[in-house]
Amino acid sequence: MDGKIITNNEEFFLKNKQGELEFTLLAEGIRKLGLLWVLIQNGTLLNGSILCWDEPEANLNPKLMRIVVEILLELQRIGVQIFISTHDYVVLKEFDLQTKNTDKVLFHSLYRNRGEIEIASTENYLNISPYEVTK
């Protein structure tokens, strides 16, 4: 992020060589990473805590996805339970590439079966079966 997140009067700023930039003036992807950094730094994300993140890849430079997945896996390794939702193959593949045998990663696919919503779960992203049964 080329700087550090600070707070002033309960507002967030990115402080870097250019000065202090209000969070509202930053790109959405940088704000996401900044808030994740703040949660890690202030001790919110500890063993036993939960992080829910809808589409972490949205508005984020694709080059940064590798780093985001690395951070999420490290948080999982210290005991943070993480739920993310995505439609992005790159995110899934990045988890596949970085996951170690000791990691606890489970992929879920929600789909309709005769009008009812069902779930299929797997430990291997290649076995994700997002299909719709029509009969």
Report pTM.
0.81
Rounded-to-integer distance, Cα 74 and Cα 37, Å: 13
pLDDT digits (tens, 9 = 90+) for 56-112: 999 888 888 999 999 999 999 999 999 999 989 889 999 999 999 999 999 998 888
Predicted local distance difference test score (pLDDT) of residue 37: 87
Beta carbons of 1 and 33 less than 8 angstroms apart: yes
Q: Is the pLDDT of residue 135 over 50?
A: no
Query: Which range is most confident: 20-29, 100-109, 119-128?
Result: 100-109
The full 3-state SS of 39-85, as one line of letters, equals: HHHCCCCCCCCEEEEECCCCCCCHHHHHHHHHHHHHHHHCCCEEEEE
Predicted local distance difference test score (pLDDT) of residue 131: 53
Average pLDDT over residues 20-45: 86
